[in-house]
Amino acid sequence: MDKTILDQMAMQRALTRITYEIVEKNKGVDNLVLVGIKTRGVFLAKRIANRLKQLENIDIPVGELDVTNYRDDISHEGSNRDKFNNDISFSIEGKRVILVDDVLYTGRTVRSALSALMEIQRPKSINLAVLIDRGNRELPIRADFVGKNIPTSKHERIKVSVSEIDNKDTVELIK
């Protein structure tokens, strides 16, 4: 049984709220950059950037981070970090980075993302925004901005669809 947790409207609202909270927490948008974790985190980051554009008429750069090869729980052969498919065409040195992902679960993805970011340059700060926090953390990581908290068991799955690639905006709980 699939259960829709967030429909299109609710997803929009959650991103809107996160956007406002980002401005609130950072006391503005100075020095702000967004980095989305591939794949869906990137689209969410872009949507947040669009909202900031609407709100403050300012273009916030959006970077893309691919952390599949950084995950410490996924073994990879002959690790060659140059192959990482990252696309951050701007400097993050001294910036306030908002890292964006769709689901926060064990915390391992975020940990890898943090490592990857720190390896590139030294941001002033890194905050984490996630659409869904589903609990079950295995690392001491917590999101600064959460669209929705959904307590889940480890046997369940959360499926986030974004219209850019999935033709719809939904978050579903799959049992």
Which positions touch another protein (CB under 8 A)?
7-10, 12-14, 16-17, 19-21, 23-24, 27-28, 51, 54-55, 146, 148-149
At closest approach, how far in Å is the CB of 20 from another protein? 6
For residues 66 and 85, what is the distance between their CA atoms, to the nearest angstrom? 6
For residues 45 and 29, what is the distance between their CA atoms, to the nearest angstrom? 14
| Shorter beta-carbon distance to another protein: residue 73 or 138 | 138
| Shorter beta-carbon distance to another protein: residue 51 or 108 | 51
At closest approach, how far in Å is the CB of 25 from another protein? 9
| Shorter beta-carbon distance to another protein: residue 120 or 141 | 141
At closest approach, how far in Å is the CB of 51 from another protein? 5
Which residue's structure tokens are 């929705």? 148
At closest approach, how far in Å is the CB of 166 from another protein? 13
| Shorter beta-carbon distance to another protein: residue 13 or 71 | 13
Which residue's structure tokens are 């949507």? 47
Query: E strands along the chain, which residues?
Result: 2-6, 32-37, 62-65, 96-104, 125-133, 145-149, 157-161, 170-174
Q: Which of 124, 136, 148, 169 shows the shortest CA–CA distance to 12?
A: 169
